Amino acid sequence: MTTYKRFRVVADDPIRTLVEDFEQPELAAGEVLLQVAYSGINYKDALATRANTGVVRTYPITPGIDAAGTIIASQDDRFKVGQAVLVTGFGFGVAADGGWTELAVVPADWLVALPQTLSPKQAMTFGTAGFTAALAVDALEQHGLTKTSRVLVTGATGGVANFAISFLQAQGVKTIIALTRKTEQADYLKRLGATTILSPTDLPEKTKPLAKQQFDFVIDTVGGTQLSQLLPLISYGGSLALCGNAGGIKFETTVLPFILRSVNLLGIDSVEANLETRTRLWEKMATLWSVPAALQVNEIKLTELSATIADLLAGQHVGRTLIHLGGMTR
């Protein structure tokens, strides 16, 4: 019997991870079997390997909220054997086994056909990080973002922020301000498209209900107290697309930015985004936005995941790390 490899998180005490062999699984109606070419690693995936992080409820599990590859068996009329597809979000890698495996069982409802011009490797270079950035830029465009807007991107060296900076540049935005704790990465961020680099220490020390208007739009991947500092700095009619919580889930505000400056707080969720939105934005990534040449992309094997997980959890990871599982190398 042929066996395949997958990464597993097992709920022993303490919780532990391993790479194990498994046999080809059976499919239920409405599922496909995906030969995974590439998966990625996101902050949420790193959390899925640790106890009490609220990401996973049932163990054992194979993490990996993103995967792209080729269908090798299908129990759904919409998808055929040989078709290239991608999956991000929904319950993948969280409520059900995910993409850190050579073979993945995926409900067909979660699949997006891979755009013609995108390889599985390119799709996973974007992954949930790219898709989330696409949702954020799209939301800001629907709220008035133009080429002359001053746009701040926080957690700038992270995956979501890297794509946000690059997509904004592709949209022709002239003022892209990267807010990062790692100011030594300034050259890298400028190559991605940032025009100004700020450190959290450049923000006003004391948070007033309203302060000097510095940014028209914000893409925030950090949340926490830094978000409290940013809301009073957004200019009249501006918007903040809130994507993440790398710096914490709690923030404080007053009503003033909202009722005196008409500021919009826009929630961004990549997990349950509908198929129409997914198809539209993946097509945009495949054609207009593309993977930035400057993006730092690392490629690893299943057995090399532990170090990357530790870096991500320590806020030390830069760019995107892909897991190559076999099959197509592009």
315 contacts ligand NAP (rule: CB under 6 A): yes
Select from 83, 169, 245, 308 the one that contacts ligand NAP (CB under 6 A).
Answer: 245
Q: Of residues 63-122, which lie at the interface with ligand NAP (CB under 6 A)?
A: none
| End-to-end Cα spacing for the chain | 29
312 binds ligand NAP, rule: CB under 6 A: yes
For residue 184, CA distances in Å to 63, 114, 158, 191, 210 come to 32, 36, 14, 13, 30
Write down the least CB distance from residue 134 to ligand NAP, Å.
Answer: 11
Query: Interface with ligand NAP includes 158 (CB under 6 A)?
Result: yes
DSSP reduced 3-state for 159: helix
Rounded to a whole number of angstroms, the CA Rg of the chain reads 20
Q: Please give the Cα distance from 225 to 244 (Å, whole number).
A: 13
CA distances from 271 to 83, 137, 308, 311, 327 (A): 23, 16, 23, 23, 26
User: Looking at 44, 121, 150, 324, which residue binds ligand NAP (CB under 6 A)?
Assistant: 44
Complex with ligand NAP: residue 247 or 292, whichever CB lies closer: 247
Instruction: Say if strands 175-179 and 196-198 run parallel, antiparallel, or are unpaired.
Output: parallel
Told to check if 239 binds ligand NAP by CB under 6 A, we report no
Least distance to ligand NAP from the beta carbon of 164, Å? 9
Q: What is the DSSP letter of 281?
A: H
**9 closest CA partner among 83, 312, 17, 329:** 17
**Shortest Å distance, C-beta 141 to ligand NAP:** 17
Element (DSSP H or E) covering residue 309: helix 305-313
Distance (Å, rounded) from C-alpha 185 to C-alpha 199?
11
- In angstroms, the CA 244 to CA 234 distance is 18
Nearer to ligand NAP, 127 or 238 (CB): 127
- The one-letter amino acid code at 17 reads T
Nearest-approach distance from CB 184 to ligand NAP, in angstroms:
10
Of 171-190, binders to ligand NAP (CB under 6 A) are 180-182
> Given the rule CB under 6 A, which of 68-76, 118-126, 149-157, 251-259 is the region that contacts ligand NAP?
149-157
Q: Per CB under 6 A, which region of 26-34, 39-47, 54-62, 141-149 contacts ligand NAP?
A: 39-47
Interface region with ligand NAP, contact rule CB under 6 A, candidates 143-151, 152-160, 252-260, 301-309:
152-160
Asked if residue 128 binds ligand NAP (CB under 6 A), the reply is yes
Q: Which two tokens stand for residue 77?
A: 């009329």
Residues near ligand NAP (CB under 6 A) are: 42-44, 128-129, 132, 155-161, 180-182, 221-222, 243-247, 268-271, 312, 315, 317
